[in-house]
Structure 1
């Protein structure tokens, strides 16, 4: 039997793709899944709106993986200019202004925040997560030096996947909701 063709990765080009992102997001939010599923499969913590995704997309389109017309996964691009779009993330952006990476203040780099990454259940364990980040590198390495994100340390599946993709941890901290690891991935040739 021939192995299935892996989903193709690309940048978002249509509103319907943003709507698919919201559907996949809703089914993976921490508050919408059983705790045992959150432990074994990972979870999402922030819910976006179509308006927010459209505004983020206007600054820099997000990366998706598709199997035909089905969404297999997504990885949201959130440029620093989009920080006001999701007020709950403002403390994270304030923290990023104080951090350094590779001996330089992070604010000296051209970076964006990985607004969220999710792989649909049917495609987990098939390389989609890594493919999404390869597409980020291919699409954004000339425009940005690195990607920054934070991952709940108890989201062990996501922590392992980000480490495997090459992210480096630069800070761990606790807030009112969880313990977080701030991680960075070099995109440009000079930061890889």
Structure 2
């Protein structure tokens, strides 16, 4: 039985990193990238823990195993992860008039896909956010069709598309 909670231990952070490694585009065969989607950013333990201290990440657990996660990245960390700097630069250009939390990455274990965990993680994340946060903003690699469709299905709206690091990105927001 899957339940949603906030990260509360280093062991859960290590499980997030293990799940992330299994789903990085560089670690997948091309067919998996096309049909299953992928994650782009490779975090290290210290950064993941630092982000979690400001606002805990949301996880889906089956028994004692993390089977899905949605990483919270408070905007104060905009200069922490180089590949995400362009996203924050685009957000600043838009002068978004709301307080937001950046969702740093979402991932579901292959064994638990198609069971509603994507929607469940975002619902739980919104529940755990401080009341002052009015929206969640993230970006999706435009070649990641599975992720693009999943985000649209639960109500994310595209703010703009831009290019950075040789890729085209869709900047999206959920209110």
The answer, yes or no, to whether TM exceeds 0.5 is yes
Question: Mean alpha-carbon deviation: is it higher for 80-89 or for 121-130?
Answer: 80-89
Whether 1:125 aligns to 2:120 is no
CA deviation after TM superposition for structure 1 residue 178, in Å: 1.4
Identify the match of residue 178 of structure 1 among 162, 167, 171.
167
User: Based on CA coordinates, which of the two structures has the bigger radius of gyration?
Assistant: 1
With the length of structure 2 as denominator, give the TM-score of the two structures. 0.96
With the length of structure 1 as denominator, give the TM-score of the two structures. 0.88
Who is 1:116 aligned against?
105
CA deviation after TM superposition for structure 1 residue 109, in Å: 1.3
Distance between the aligned counterparts of 1:177 and 1:10, measured in 2? 35
Question: Mean alpha-carbon deviation: is it higher for 89-98 or for 114-123?
Answer: 89-98
CA deviation after TM superposition for structure 1 residue 141, in Å: 5.5
Structure 2 gaps of 5+ residues are: none
Secondary structure in structure 2 of the residue aligned to 1:85? coil
Whether 1:138 aligns to 2:133 is no
Who is 2:41 aligned against?
46
Alignment root-mean-square deviation, CA: 1.1
Structure 1 gaps of 5+ residues are: 100-104, 187-192
Who is 1:67 aligned against?
62
